[in-house]
Structure 1
Amino acid sequence: MKQNYEEKFITNIENTNYASLSTGHQVFFKTIAFQYQFSFQELKQLIDFTIDFKMWNEKDIVEIFKNEYANRKMAFNHIRDVWNELKSKPNTYDTFDKSSYSDKRKITFEKIEKETLSLGACPVASPNTRCCNLMTLDSVESCGFDCSYCSIQSFYNQNKVAFDVNFAQKLKNLKLDPNETYHIGTGQSSDSLMWGNKEGILDALFDFARSNPNVILEFKTKSNNISYFLENEVPSNIICTWSLNTPVIIENEEHLTAKLHQRIGAARKLADKGVLVGFHFHPIVQYENYLEDYKEVYETLINTFDSKEVVLVSMGTLTFIKPVIQKLRSRDFKSKILQMSFVDANGKASYDLKAKKEMFKSAYDSFKAWHKDVY
């Protein structure tokens, strides 16, 4: 028996982000769906467009949708054209209103017993990528910061942070080839420093570094929580790196993290203690006048640090896997991070090659004074 449209709507709507819409938008969509008999794919995309308009702080779908269209295709194409136009033009945060974002999170901590030590290759390593051979060590699962673009939100429960009760013992039992040099980073599944020495994780990692001088152990952070490093002798094979961005992106997209001057100030204090520091510009984000804003950050670093104090500077940009995009659309918050034209980049969504060349060339050229000394 052939389904009527109402039955199809009820069946298909469960496979969209309809549940993430407000009650008012749900009523609106039901009305226009029955009026124009949108296909499942059209309805699915229109719902995503609606969520994006709200997330980007743009006009509401109800304002954009005309009172009448000649047919279904014209209605769908009009909304899609508006969506594409917003994605294709440079973002601006000048009038961006993120006042609805709550800076209070209820985080619960739990102790877990993992079967094995979470040590492995960098998750982006593949035959199609240039890899720096970084290995990642998960000392904590989930992060207390709330960066809109972060992939961690699609892997873990954001409000629950887990510590492996046997982490220290597993590190002691780890056998590495003494003739090999390893670069191991701890900032993949959580921020490396924001939790301090909770559950003894920094004690365990410092002991591991002392016992394995052939390991370069990297702590990557967006925090300024360096008290443990200031109060203790830091093994010479430990490096501390900061993920940096412009004040515009930190303010609007890197929620709950330390301000730019706080991160740079923390790095300066550790450099004064003799700890090698580094900086990651990942992601570099396009928006109006973004190149000038990033250049100011680059110049600040060059004026604040001697190149001999800096071990590395890395660059990267936005790349999204589908679960992260889906997670972003399921949240009720403001962000312009998805307001960009996507192209496929090794199975992920990212900027096109022209945009990447522009941002990376600007960054590389800006650090010309450090080219001889910094990796």
Structure 2
Amino acid sequence: MSKIGQFESNKSWQRVLPEEKKFIERVSTDYLLSYQDIKQLIDITLDLEAWDEGNLKTIWPDVSDSKLKNKELKTYIMGQIKKSWNRLKLEPTDYKGFKPKSDFKKDDIKFEDINEDRTILGDCPVASEKTRCCNLKTLDSVINCGFDCSYCTIQSFYKGGKVLFEKKLEEKLEKIELDPKKRYHIGTGQSSDSLMWGNRENNLKLLFDFAKKNKNVILELKTKSSNIDYILENDVPPNIICTWSLNTTTIIQNEEHLTATLEERLISAKEVQEKGVLIGFHFHPMVYYKGWEDEYKELANNIIEMFDPKRTALISIGTLTFIKPVIKQIRERDFRTKILQIPLEDAEGKQSYTYDIKKKMFSTLYKSFKPWHKEVFFYMCMEDKNLWMDVFNREYKDNKEFEDDMINSYFTKIQY
């Protein structure tokens, strides 16, 4: 079997356009490219298409006058290709004129019940001693999401276009054993959006009942939706916090497909806060693109003007962090996104921005919230421990100390 033939069943290769396939096939023969060379060219080809930054031919070096031959020539060509590819990732991403595309169809979603015996309460799937982590507990009453954020890790875990609701939710919530002498922070937005489904299958009612029964629990409902009818129409237990994942309009329009607009999210959060419910905001992921600084500053200023910090429990900051299966999944989709057009480096076994870019983004946002520094709990999610001192001028000796400080801060704002 030829080297190209080895890719016939490869999903990434199948995504390459016919003309690009012919080009890769030709150069692989002309320059005796290795399996790894071809694999890299496929990835670069798919990236260029997704980023709307031309194609492999446009960055292929002119070697017509080159005196190099055989292996040296191949090495030179691959080096130049990688340089051109990396050059596109080094500068802040430019969304001007970009037209996003998604192959996700919300109408194709199918709903099913989960009848199997599975545990619905567990640890945060990305909890790690390598980063400063809040030790969040997760309650997965719904699995899979109806939004289509290009960077989301959920796409690599759950497939088939099915959203699954826990059939035995009431029974399983009753069986959860918690230490009455301990305080817990439990989130419901790790496997799906917490509010987009409303009270479908009695989901929110049962979660409210769980919060009422367990006053030592902070139950966080995290969302990118504006579906707040159930919240507004019912009594909300004081230990429920509704949080919105926010981003600039540029990122929402280009990378957070089918989600509520920034204005819709802010208005929803305002209405929920005015009802007396604690709220919070997650700036996760912050994205490094042309115009990011002004737009994130403007968003911070809008929040300061719109909301009461005394009834705002938290603001979290984080950025893009990819595991390899997510990067692979993004490339295999019929997708137009610039979310991988960034300078990726190793971050505790994952891929993320450089430390310096993170420090610059996080510090800019945090300083923009200066009037709230003493009234709202600010933290970073899944980031290098050293960033805490560089950004917040404070740090924790371990995850437990961080967890305790966070939970204590939240409970000071809960009014029974």
Question: TM-score by structure 2 length?
Answer: 0.86
> What CA distance in whole angstroms lies between the structure 1 residues aligned with 2:293 and 2:107?
33
Which of 98, 101, 110 aligns to 1:108? It is 110
Q: Which amino acid aligns with 1:211?
A: K
Q: Write the mapping of 1:129-140 to structure 2, written as runs, cut at 5 A.
A: 129-140=131-142
Partner of 2:311: 309
- What whole-Å deviation, never above 9, does each CA across 1:299-322 have from its counterpart, x for those lacking one? 000000111110100000010000
Partner of 2:196: 194
> What CA distance in whole angstroms lies between the structure 1 residues aligned with 2:104 and 2:155?
17
> What CA distance in whole angstroms lies between the structure 2 residues aligned with 1:182 and 1:102?
36
| RMSD of equivalent CA atoms | 1.7
Which of 343, 360, 365 aligns to 1:363? It is 365
Q: Write the mapping of 1:191-230 to structure 2, written as runs, cut at 5 A.
A: 191-230=193-232
Is 1:28–2:30 an aligned residue pair?
no
**Shift in CA distance, 145/16, structure 1 to aligned 2, threshold 3 Å:** closer
Which of 14, 24, 28 aligns to 1:19? It is 14
Question: Would the aligned equivalents of 2:101 and 2:335 in 1 still touch at CA under 8 Å?
Answer: no
**Shift in CA distance, 208/99, structure 1 to aligned 2, threshold 3 Å:** closer
Question: Would the aligned equivalents of 2:120 and 2:172 in 1 still touch at CA under 8 Å?
Answer: no
Partner of 1:78: 80
CA deviation after TM superposition for structure 1 residue 8, in Å: 3.5
> What CA distance in whole angstroms lies between the structure 2 residues aligned with 1:66 and 1:344?
28
- What whole-Å deviation, never above 9, does each CA across 1:157-200 have from its counterpart, x for those lacking one? 16211111111210012121111100000000000000111111
Which of 43, 47, 55 aligns to 2:38? It is 43
Q: Which amino acid aligns with 2:13?
A: Y
CA deviation after TM superposition for structure 1 residue 67, in Å: 6.5
> What CA distance in whole angstroms lies between the structure 2 residues aligned with 1:120 and 1:207?
19
Q: Which amino acid aligns with 1:26?
A: K
Which of 183, 186, 191 aligns to 1:184? It is 186
Partner of 1:3: none
Q: Write the mapping of 1:310-349 to structure 2, written as runs, cut at 5 A.
A: 310-349=312-351
- Report how many aligned residue pairs link the two structures: 370
Question: Would the aligned equivalents of 1:101 and 1:334 in 2 still touch at CA under 8 Å?
Answer: no
CA deviation after TM superposition for structure 1 residue 116, in Å: 2.4
Q: Which amino acid aligns with 2:17?
A: S
- Secondary structure in 1 matching 2:219: strand
**Shift in CA distance, 13/45, structure 1 to aligned 2, threshold 3 Å:** farther
Percent identity of equivalent pairs: 51
> What CA distance in whole angstroms lies between the structure 2 residues aligned with 1:47 and 1:8?
13
The structure whose RCO (Cα within 8 Å, separation 6+) is larger is: 2
| The 10-residue stretch of structure 1 (251-260 or 77-86) with the greater mean CA deviation from structure 2 | 77-86
Question: TM-score by structure 1 length?
Answer: 0.95
Question: Would the aligned equivalents of 1:101 and 1:333 in 2 still touch at CA under 8 Å?
Answer: yes
Q: Which amino acid aligns with 1:212?
A: N
> What CA distance in whole angstroms lies between the structure 2 residues aligned with 1:87 and 1:158?
32
Q: Which amino acid aligns with 1:141?
A: I
Partner of 1:150: 152
Give the gaps of 5 or more residues in structure 2.
Answer: 67-72, 378-416
